[in-house]
Amino acid sequence: MRRCDLLIVGAGAAGMFCAGVAAQRGARVILLDHAERIGEKIRISGGGRCNFTNLSADRPERFVSQHPKFSRHALRAYPPARFIALLRAHGITWHEKHRGQLFCDDSAERIVSMLRREADVGGVEWLTPCRLEAVRCADPSAAARPADGAPTEAARHARFVADTAAGPIAARHLVIATGGLSIPKIGATDLGYRIARQFGHAIVEPRPGLVPLTFDAEVWRPFAELSGLSLEVDIGVPSRRDAPVFREDLLFTHRGLSGPAVLQASSFWARGDAIEIDLAPDRTLATEWTASRKDGRGSLAGLLAAQLPRRLAQTWLGHFVASHPKLRPEMRVAEVGNRDLAELAAALERWRIVPSGTEGYRKAEVTVGGVDVAGLDARTMQSQHVPGLFFIGEVVDVTGWLGGYNFQWAWASAHAAAMAATA
């Protein structure tokens, strides 16, 4: 039987980083993963350049969770500057792109290699690929005790035994870093959720996050021909009080909407919710158009074409006049009443539509939901009722905005667990 201080299940961003930190602090670490090619999500991030953090990624309000303040302790203890310093130490250069998003100058493979080197310096034992068949407490009473029960002496010294394809492993600490359900083609599974439930943890229902939204084919028919068109918009989910309004690029697709704007909003969207889009942000269209009536020479179609990409202006106006029979695209602006102009402006500035669904985990960048953080210690990521059991990274109900936030959560939560397990 192999024995270790930490058995880490999952060799993604969080798992590898946790392994390196813990091993360099003197712990004997075994890192296990079922995949032949580890760190694949790092490799495909940012178009192969890895958007490894964001300069604002220590702000807990930019993370989605049933308990919004949970992430602040780990994020403040390990802010973006510390991971940037690690990259510098390894000679990895980087650049800032959009709104604080940091990318490698070279391939994302540099990040994977860095995490491997950090782990190897500490003497981490890699078991990849290796299947985890079962895991249990060496003291069964520790797993059975309810969260609010008084800890027994045996529970304070919980040990775990894992049955694997490489044989049994006995571990003092068990760290679950298995990720979520997004991008199943690179090996995503629900293993982490099953282990959490086994040890008495609740799961916030997982759903795809940072994902394109789709619409009923009949509803979307007028806009399907705009596939490939992109423009900057403001977007939000008005029924969700915690949902910010994002200013990002919107992309029309054959089946619905994508682009950074929709990916951001999707993490707050639930079935039945409407999304609201301002197609002309920072403009007061009703006021501008009413003033333009004094000139009166231009057409209604020309008025919209001056504010929007021409294809979108034509499609949008055709869609709008279909429900306003007295209006025609070729009408002169002077012929259109102020009330109709105001209604058209409001429709553009507050376009409300109800998606029918998402493109699912196949195209989702992250999973929203996961292990309920109410059962975890925010400073250590340790289970509150099974000492020695930790959950880190995407498997936890903490989801960041688009743009490097989720990688920073991986680094920060992994660091918190590694420090606690080796204290």
The reply to whether 193 and 257 lie within a common domain is no
Quickly state the pLDDT bin for 156 (edges 50, 70, 90): very low
Taking the C-alpha atoms of residue 75 and residue 33, their distance in angstroms, rounded to an integer, is: 26
User: Residue 115's pLDDT band (boundaries 50, 70, 90)?
Assistant: very high
Mean pLDDT of 6-11: 97
The average pLDDT across 352-361 equals 96
238 and 183 in a common domain: no
pLDDT exceeds 90 at position 284:
no
- Answering whether pTM is above 0.75, one says yes
328 and 353 belong to one structural domain: yes
Domain final position from 359, 391, 413: 359
Instruction: Estimate to the nearest angstrom the gap between the alpha carbon of 245 and the chain centroid.
Output: 17
Mean pLDDT, rounded, for 43-51: 95
**Mean pLDDT rounded to a whole number for the chain:** 92
Strands (E), 46-185: 51-54, 63-64, 94-96, 101-104, 125-127, 132-137, 160-164, 167-176
Helix (H) or strand (E) segment spanning residue 421 = helix 405-421
**86 and 43 inside one domain:** yes
At residue 140, the pLDDT reads: 57
Same structural domain, 69 and 117: yes
* Residues ≥6 apart with Cβ < 8 Å to 73: 378, 379, 416
Residue for token digits 């959560």? Answer: 409
> Exposed (0-12), middle (13-18) or buried (19+): which is 294, by Cβ within 10 Å?
exposed
Q: How far apart are CA 75 and CA 378, in angstroms?
A: 10
Give the per-residue pLDDT at 145. Answer: 47
With beta carbons less than 8 A apart as the criterion, state whether 351 and 312 touch.
no
Buried b (16+ CB within 10 A) or exposed e, 326-343: ebebebebeebeeebbee
Residue corresponding to tokens 């639930």: 270
Give the pLDDT score at 91.
97
What amino acid occupies position 225?
A: E
Tokens matching residue 329: 């695209």
Q: Answer yes or no: do 197 and 279 share one domain.
A: no
Q: What total of structural domains would you count in the chain?
A: 2
Q: Which domain holds residue 83?
A: 2-208+366-421
- Write down the pLDDT at residue 294: 67
Residue 125 burial class via C-beta count within 10 angstroms: exposed 0-12, middle 13-18, buried 19 and up: middle
**How confident is the model over 97-109, as pLDDT tens digits?**
989 999 999 999 9
* Per-residue pLDDT band at 146 (split at 50, 70, 90): very low
Both 173 and 262 in a single domain? no
297 — pLDDT class (breaks 50, 70, 90): low
Which 3 state secondary structure label does DSSP give 206?
A: strand
Q: Residues 255, 162: one domain?
A: no
Listed range (139-148, 219-228, 286-295) with the worst mean pLDDT: 139-148
Q: Does 348 lie in the same domain as 200?
A: no
CB 193 within 8 A of CB 371: yes
Residues 188 and 67 in one domain: yes
Which structure tokens are listed for 113?
């290699």
Same domain, 204 and 96: yes
Domain boundary among 359, 384, 411: 359
- Please report which confidence band the pLDDT of residue 330 belongs to, taking 50, 70 and 90 as the band edges: confident
CATH number for position 52: 3.50.50.60
Both 191 and 230 in one domain: the answer is no
CATH code for the domain of 355: 2.40.30.10
Look at residues 14, 96, 169, 60 and name the one whose alpha carbon lies nearest to residue 405: 60
Residue that terminates a domain, selected from 328, 344, 359: 359
Taking residues 350-360, report their average pLDDT: 96
3-state class (DSSP) for residue 148? coil
